[in-house]
Amino acid sequence: MNKIKIAIQGELGAYSHIAANSLFKDAEIKTCASFEETFKQAYEDDNFKIIIPIENSLAGRVADIHYLLPKYKLQIHGEYFLNVEHNLLCKPEATIKDIKFVRSHAQAIGQCQKIINKNKFQPIISADTAGSAKDLAEGKDKTIAAIASELSAKTYKLKILEKNIEDEKGNVTRFLIMGKNIEQPEFKKEKKFITSCIFRVKSEPSALYKCLGGFATNQVNLTKLESFSVKNTFDQANFYLDLEGHLEETGVRKAMEELGFHTETLHILGVYEASAFRQK
């Protein structure tokens, strides 16, 4: 049996890698240097799925993803919520007294200010958390530590000086599982579904109001609505929308038909089963 192929942004040990391991046992993981390269991998090879972080409970939405969604038009096959736990990693021979610098992604640095300030570490901003761990393992400087996952420590044979060093607990990242092929689950009343889309409103008064009216009249609950600018213009905006429900439900279908009537462009990103995390 062929292994499932998953592309992620970042190095092995990244939080996307942890999500992939949780979702797909023994998957073949391909690392990509950028989010665009990750999307491109699945766009050019439909044997690949990608696991992409779209938002974080502390930091908000992940930059660039909203612009890549309409560009590559991959389909969302599912969602996954991961509890993010940061760890302070060092060379096997190092101690806390040796550490003068700490390297990681800017968000991880920002989320671990208490331990950085307490020990007067000098931050070094890096492209990603797992990449910081990999650089640390390949280097010889034991005065540098990295903030990364426990999987990164295991992958690169680093020592964990301290676990769960984030300032606030309950740090959760939402990931999307995406691919080129449409995989729409069959509607079942006992299950909860999410439908996601991106649309662009017409440039006219009350355009957004008209777009959203159908959801109110058909009693469809929106769980997320975000705007982001159309490139090279300040005149229009695209909107990313998540709603509770399946396209086969009458209310959802009618609301989407009305949305389509009032928009310049409308692209359905996917219909997928809602994560059990939403019911907590």
- Asked whether the beta carbons of 76 and 127 are under 8 A apart, the reply is no
Centre a 10 Å sphere on the Cβ of residue 123 and count the other Cβ atoms it contains. 17
Q: Is 58 exposed, middle or buried (0-12, 13-18, 19+ CB in 10 A)?
A: middle
Separation of alpha carbons 273 and 253, rounded Å = 17
Question: Which one from 31, 173, 195, 263 is the annotated catalytic residue?
Answer: 173
Alpha helices in the chain (DSSP H): 15-23, 35-44, 65-72, 106-111, 113-119, 129-138, 150-156, 207-217, 250-261
Query: Pairing mode, if any, of strands 237-244 and 193-201?
Result: antiparallel
Separation of alpha carbons 30 and 23, rounded Å = 15
175 is catalytic: yes
95 is catalytic: no
Question: Which one from 175, 199, 215, 239 is the annotated catalytic residue?
Answer: 175
Question: For the stretch 124-140, what's the b/e string if a residue is b when 16 or more beta carbons lie within 10 angstroms of its beta carbon?
Answer: eebbbbbbbbbbbbeee
Q: Which residues are catalytic?
A: 173, 175
